[in-house]
Structure 1
Amino acid sequence: MDEGTSQKPALARGSGQHVLIAAGEPDTTELLSTTLTLAGYRTSVADSGATALARVLESRFDLVVFDATLPDVPGLGREHRPPAEHVPPVLFLTAYDTLDNLLPELGLGERDYVTKPFRVAEVLARARVLLRGTGPARARDGALRHQDLSLDDTLCQARRGTRALDLTPAEYRLLRYLLVNEHRVLTKEQIGRYVWGDFRGDNAIEQLVSRLRRKVDRDAPVLIHTRRGFGYWLGGEEGGA
């Protein structure tokens, strides 16, 4: 291989975990099923939200990949959801314009999302994070926490110690992304696609990070860091893998 030839990073792989795929579009179901199977997972499929719910109640799954745009999802309602202890981690597939409605639901367990149209590599990476439980610690109230920083998805409220953080929706999504991936460097492209659903210019992301820092890091210790030339990460002074 020529020295100048770059190698693509290896895709995240599973180790036989059982994944339920709930998607209404046959092409999406086939793509996810084939991809996850080749990546080392066992897969089952459901073509509706109601079917997926029934499967979760009757069988044990390690992860559910759930298309939040399925037409029968609104009709399920909170009263039809299984108890939290029976719900495996969930990776939502969602359209960008439904994020505001989806965010409060993310506080009901270990959950994350990717926006449609999604990239296979991102689905595999998010699945691995959920399955390994590498996200930040959750308190009994369901809030995400790191040191004295907390984020409550149910109320869409963030706090640093006793101080409430007045965040815009974009700042909230960025903070959540940093928290879920604590001690991991996130590139500007990853941040742009998570926060806005597409990549924005470096300046837009730098400005967003700067605004969030002014609110979060007003108190010591500093939690949001820059890995120059790579991206941003949240954690203590040491870290940023």
Structure 2
Amino acid sequence: MSVDILIIEDEPGLSRMLATTLGAQGYAVSTAMRADEALARVAVDDPALILLDLGLPDGDGLQLLPLLKQRCQAQVLIVSARDQESDKIAALDAGAEDYLTKPFSVAELLARLRVAQRRRQEAAPVTQCYRAGELVVDLDQRQVSLAGEPVKLTPKEYQLLAILAQAGGRVVTHAQLLQAIWGRHHSDDTHYLRIYLRQLRQKLERDASEPRYLLTEPGVGYRLGDGTA
């Protein structure tokens, strides 16, 4: 059986509320209250989206997250009372697509779920090409253009831009970028990123001080915008 959303939440009241609310929105929903139950449900349900609480009675959600990602292709949205920047970064580094801090409004949750659905639908395009406004990143041809004109980038600039493009608008953390480009021994060298992001913005942004494409998530990382920010 395939469901739209698997809710992994150990607070019975909140779990019921989420299941009822999402069911009323037309989602097919299943629930789990423990990590071991969640792994069993994933195998049966094959969910498209997962809402994951980090505080589970039989384990930490951060430890469960990579196991979930190994067993299914679901987009994972963390729903947690932990509001520390370090927790958010750890969750994103571990493979979560988004992080929502409790308490939250139903409207915000539904908006985050719509974004996650769009990302899932766009995750495997036939042509690996990212388009946002006037910016085109053709990953197959390793070419970048802006308003129809080719943009010449250095290898490192292109590598950084390509990783952000492959993320499809999701936040990519500082550590993920640094390890992918410079290796795991440089995971704290965030000044590298500042240098190359500044160079990319000079080449791609109309106004580097108000970027529309290369957006900063303070303290966390970077993502590609749609050209309207």
TM category (shorter chain) comes to 0.5 to 0.7
1:155 aligns with 2:175: yes
What is the TM-score of this pair, normalised by structure 1?
A: 0.53
Q: Which residue of 1 aligns with 2:47?
A: 61
Query: Percent of pairs identical after alignment?
Result: 31
Inter-CA distance 78–95: structure 2 relative to 1 (3 Å threshold) = closer
Q: Which residue of 1 aligns with 2:228?
A: 240
Q: Which residue of 1 aligns with 2:197?
A: 216
CA contact (8 A) 2:7 2:19 kept: yes
CA contact (8 A) 1:89 1:109 kept: no
Residue type of the alignment partner of 1:217: R
Deviations 1:91-149 (A, max 9, x none): 11122444413423324546211001111111111111111217897x9x9x95139xx
- Give the match's secondary structure for 1:133: helix
CA contact (8 A) 1:165 1:216 kept: no
Q: 1:67, CA displacement in angstroms?
A: 1.0
Q: Which residue of 2 aligns with 1:146?
A: 165
Q: Give the RMSD, CA atoms, in angstroms.
A: 4.4
CA contact (8 A) 1:104 1:154 kept: no
1:166 aligns with 2:152: no
- Give the match's secondary structure for 2:211: strand
1:92 aligns with 2:78: yes
Q: 1:37, CA displacement in angstroms?
A: 1.0
CA contact (8 A) 2:75 2:116 kept: yes
Following the alignment from structure 2 to structure 1, what is the Cα–Cα distance between the partners of residues 48 and 61?
A: 25
Q: 1:42, CA displacement in angstroms?
A: 0.9
Inter-CA distance 52–23: structure 2 relative to 1 (3 Å threshold) = same
Following the alignment from structure 1 to structure 2, what is the Cα–Cα distance between the partners of residues 217 and 24?
A: 44
Following the alignment from structure 1 to structure 2, what is the Cα–Cα distance between the partners of residues 117 and 19?
A: 20
Deviations 1:8-64 (A, max 9, x none): xxxxxxxx9621111111221122111111111111111112211221123311111
Inter-CA distance 21–235: structure 2 relative to 1 (3 Å threshold) = closer
Q: Which residue of 2 aligns with 1:42?
A: 28
CA contact (8 A) 1:24 1:47 kept: yes
Following the alignment from structure 2 to structure 1, what is the Cα–Cα distance between the partners of residues 228 and 61?
A: 42
CA contact (8 A) 2:5 2:29 kept: yes
Q: When you count helix as a share of all residues, which structure comes out higher?
A: 2
- Give the match's secondary structure for 1:217: helix
Q: Which residue of 1 aligns with 2:57?
A: 71
Gaps of 5+ in 1: 1-15, 173-211, 227-232
- Give the match's secondary structure for 1:51: helix
Q: Which residue of 1 aligns with 2:9?
A: 23
Inter-CA distance 131–235: structure 2 relative to 1 (3 Å threshold) = closer
How many residue pairs end up in the alignment?
168
Larger CA deviation: 88-97 vs 103-112: 103-112
Gaps of 5+ in 2: 124-129, 131-138, 140-158, 183-188, 213-222
Inter-CA distance 87–54: structure 2 relative to 1 (3 Å threshold) = farther
Inter-CA distance 144–105: structure 2 relative to 1 (3 Å threshold) = farther
Residue type of the alignment partner of 2:34: S
Q: Which residue of 1 aligns with 2:127?
A: none
Larger CA deviation: 41-50 vs 126-135: 126-135
Q: 1:83, CA displacement in angstroms?
A: 5.8
